[in-house]
Amino acid sequence: MNVGVVGNPRYSDLRGLLTRLAQAAQRHRFTLFSEPELAELWPQPVARLADGEPLDLLITFGGDGTLLRGARLLAERDAPILGVNLGRMGFLTTATPETLDEALAAAASGSYEVDTRCALEGRIRAPDGIERPGPLALNDVVLHKGGVARVIGLRVLLKGEEIGRYSADGIIVATPTGSTAYSLSAGGPVVLPGVEALVITPICPHTLAVR
């Protein structure tokens, strides 16, 4: 079983957790692949996690940001992510240092459920009609005014039909997963991960109708 490992080195207990993972890998016959930034934290050398490496599981050690970074590394690879929360919030992670051994045993035996999350792909259409594809986003896609010292006019369409106009600093289109991130800070609602919906949240809209 090929297992990729991504982590945030700023957490002091990460070294000990990687030692536990290395020991568990021997018991469960995991082949470990680690991002190079963690090389000095392993008790023995571990193969480098490279682009396109076939994985059966990706483990992330950190907070939600680390899990999102791991999701970007996976790109089009179809592998589940086991997030071990070392951070403050941990909306997306499912395990803790205390439950790590149990989670690894479940992964080895296949005794787990996969929670499928939707993703977004942002595209920019130039005036000549040519579209430039953007990266996949698990949380949100944001259109922002940047350094312009005034609000911008935004027109939102769904399948060609206008559903809203805003004067604002920008707009956030979030997945249910991303509804607890930037969109929440901008006043958007929290949506359960299993709901088939997107959240559209204007950023600092200059209107009394959005409250």
Does domain 2-109 fall under CATH 3.40.50.10330? My reply is: yes
Secondary structure, 3-state, 66-124:
HHHHHHHHHCCCCCCEEEEECCCCCCCCCECHHHHHHHHHHHHHCCCCCCCCCCEEEEE
Question: Which are the catalytic amino acids?
Answer: 64
Per-residue pLDDT tens listing for the chain (211 residues): 999 999 999 999 999 999 999 999 999 999 999 999 999 999 999 999 987 779 999 999 999 889 989 988 887 778 999 999 998 777 889 999 999 999 999 999 999 999 888 889 888 888 888 888 877 888 999 999 988 889 999 999 999 999 999 999 999 999 999 998 999 999 999 998 889 999 999 999 998 776 6
Secondary structure letter of residue 92 according to DSSP: S
Domain ranges of the chain: 2-109, 120-205
Secondary structure letter of residue 128 according to DSSP: T
Identify the CATH number of the domain defined by range 120-205: 2.60.200.30
Taking the model in full, what pTM does it have?
Answer: 0.81
Residue 210: name the closest of 199, 197, 196 by CA.
Answer: 199
**Dist. CA 207–CA 211, nearest whole Å:** 9
